Amino acid sequence: MVQYNFKKITVVPTGKEFIDIILSRTQRRTPTQVHKGYAISRLRQFYMRKVKFTQQNFHEKLSTIIDDFPRLNDIHPFYGDLLHVLYNKDHYKLALGQINTARNLIGKIAKDYVRLLKYGDSLYRCKSLKVAALGRMCTVIKRVTPSLAYLEQIRQHMARLPSIDPNSRTLLICGYPNVGKSSFVNKITRAEVDVQPYAFTTKSLFVGHTDYKYLRYQVIDTPGILDRPFEDRNIIEMCSITALAHLRAAVLFFLDISGSCGYSIAQQAALFDSIKSLFMNKPLIIVCNKTDLQALEGLSEDDMKLVMEMKSEAMKTLVGQGGEATDGSNVLLTMSTLTEEGVIAVKNAACERLLDQRVEQKMKSKKLNDCLNRFHVAMPKPRDQKERPACIPQAVLEAKAKQAEVDAEKENRKLERDLENENGGAGVYSASLKKRYILAHDEWKEDIIPEILDGHNVANFLDPDILMRLEELEREEGVLQGLEEDDDFEMDGAELTPEEQAALTEIRKKKSLLIQQHRIRKSTAESRPTIPRKFDKDKKFTSERMGRQLSSLGLDPSMAIDRARSKSRGRKRERSTDGVESMDVDGDKQNKKMRLKSRSMSRSRSMSRPPGEVVPGEGFKDSAQKKKAIKIAKSSSKNRNKEARRGEADRVIPTLKPKHLFSGKRSTGKTDRR
């Protein structure tokens, strides 16, 4: 089958883009460095190469455009007429002719200037000739800029055309606008044609595909046609006329018997009479649509007469094609795309009519006689009077009976949907995934599947009485908590003296005040900066103030102050002077040395680790091995540091644009690296 795929046509650049593409390619693909000291033959060759290369690129690009666009005389007449209707083949051929002329002119220009360059006597003369040659080539392209723009528009429009095979089995749907053609296509195919309640919704040809008897059929939805002279029809109507004229297809003429499309049956019958010449040698079916609004039997006598006349015309075309004269039951059909009544019957009848016609044409063709002499059908002759009926083995009969039982069981068994409806519907019924398990015993299906962890069954390590034991533990814990609550000491003041009661009241008052202050500070903690202790001007947090407050309450603050000092993180350390005081007064020098030593020991915060000490995790066996490794590392980096070379510790800034990838020019010389 011939497939016309116009989506593969190369994009046509505009005139300016065309020139930029070719000149930049010439600059990139040819050498760019030349000196006046070169021999004159080398200078001539340099510029001749530029001119020839530019001409070749123009020729290749223009040839691609000319070859990609279809030639109207070489393609199927359907596509030839369709392109003529859409774009006017005179303008189309003229544009391609101008592109061809530009290609020939560029070839002549290159030829002339190459001849002149052969006699160039200086670098300046050769360069001027090269500039003139490229300039004239670009001028030729600028003159065909409108043709290039026109061809690009045609290419974009042709890419949107449907892919129709003129030689395939085709159902063609035609009729007045808004009679239900697109709705029918949407019903029998997977096409999504726009359907609206007004005329001329479909403005171009749409293609869908359907199957009948394991064969693929293409269904073409055509725009609506009005009953008017041929020369008055617009482009949209001419698309339908072109398809009717050139495609070998089964034609379905849609008739709106309800009149809701805005056209009467008389107008639709007049359209049928005006285009019936296009139905010759094609299977024709008249489809009365929208029977849900108006039944065929309920039509008036005049309308019914018109419908019967159309039916008789369709019968004539059937007899004229060599078909048998029938009652016309498969010529006039009724349907409703809204209720889908009769839709499949119309599709099957059209496909059957088309199939019969194609088989009949093949039987009449000369190719059949060439094939028949290759076939031989052997007919067995009886050798006696004994009857030999077909023998079916018993195993086959048993298998067939068993299969019949399985089929009957499948028909009678309840589906999950039925069980769901019986047991409360969706959200209530939960399907069991275990009922289809194939096990030795059916009662095993609902057993709990063991959970295996580290090769052991988890169920073996579970205590069946664990919940009961948990309850007992909770009860014991509750009893213990009750005892602790009873043991909590709450000072009620009954056994205290009046002075102790006053102190207790003061403490509780102070405690509540501190809690309130803490809550206030906590509420504004996020927005309040942290103030170091050394900037505490009010001295709220000193141990002396704490001692005074505790003393005012009648408490001994010594133990609290000692504890606060032992927990403080002061930097000063206590000096041990016990040994100094116990020494004799005469040993002043020794006392002085001890004091200096103790002072230096107190000032030292941390000892730096010696380089040979092994830290766990470094991977060294002992300090000797670590020292050896450090020595080897220093010696290896000595030469590199001396020569100021880059090492692994230096910062690396990678080259974002490597020259070999982004350089656009090639120097003169060999190209062996490619």
pLDDT tens digits, 435-468:
888 888 888 888 887 888 888 888 888 787 888 8
pLDDT of residue 96: 92
- The CATH fold assigned to 163-366 is Rossmann fold (3.40.50)
Instruction: Please give the backbone phi and psi of residue 379, each rounded to the nearest 5 degrees, phi first.
Output: -110, 115
Range of lowest pLDDT (243-257, 305-319, 397-411, 610-624)? 305-319
Which residue in the block uniquely carries the two structure tokens 């077909």?
390
Range of lowest pLDDT (71-75, 156-160, 296-300, 603-607)? 603-607
CATH class of 6-157: mainly alpha
Distance CA 333, CA 117 (A): 79
Distance CA 427, CA 424 (A): 8
Closest CA to 634 of 611, 616, 610: 611
Range of lowest pLDDT (190-204, 211-225, 276-290)? 190-204
Cite the residue boundaries of each domain of the chain with CATH code 3.40.50.300. 163-366
Give the 3-state secondary structure of residue 473. helix
Strand ranges for 205-280 from DSSP E: 206-212, 215-221, 250-256
Q: What is the mean pLDDT of residues 258-285?
A: 84
For residue 423, is pLDDT > 50? yes
Q: What is the mean pLDDT of residues 69-97?
A: 84
Q: State both tokens at 348.
A: 């099957």
pLDDT of residue 581: 44
Q: What is the mean pLDDT of residues 371-383?
A: 80
pLDDT of residue 99: 94
Strands 456-457 and 452-453: what pairing? antiparallel
Residues facing residue 254 across a β-bridge? 175, 287
Distance CA 290, CA 195 (A): 15
Distance CA 484, CA 519 (A): 29
For residue 324, is pLDDT > 60? no
pLDDT of residue 535: 66
The more confidently predicted of residues 530 and 212 is: 212
Band (pLDDT 50/70/90 cuts) for residue 52 is very high
Q: What is the mean pLDDT of residues 82-111?
A: 90
Distance CA 19, CA 284 (A): 55
Ranked by mean pLDDT, which of 321-330, 351-360, 374-383 comes out on top?
Answer: 351-360
pLDDT of residue 436: 83
pLDDT of residue 527: 65
Q: What is the mean pLDDT of residues 581-598?
A: 54
Backbone conformation region of residue 268, classed left if phi is above 0, alpha if psi is from -120 to 50, else beta: alpha
Backbone conformation region of residue 290, classed left if phi is above 0, alpha if psi is from -120 to 50, else beta: left
Residues near 219 by beta carbon (within 8 Å), at least 6 away in sequence = 170, 171, 173, 185, 188, 189, 191, 207, 208, 209, 210
Give the 3-state secondary structure of residue 216. strand
By residue count, the chain amounts to 674
**Mean pLDDT rounded to a whole number for the chain:** 81
- For residues 136 and 109, the answer to whether their CB atoms sit within 8 Å is yes
Whether the predicted model's global pTM rises above the 0.85 cut: no
DSSP state of 583: S
Distance CA 297, CA 84 (A): 44
Closest CA to 337 of 175, 188, 172: 188
Distance CA 84, CA 92 (A): 8
For residue 551, is pLDDT > 50? yes
For residue 325, is pLDDT > 50? no
pLDDT of residue 49: 94
Cite the residue boundaries of each domain of the chain with CATH code 1.20.120.1190. 6-157
- For residues 212 and 348, the answer to whether their CB atoms sit within 8 Å is yes
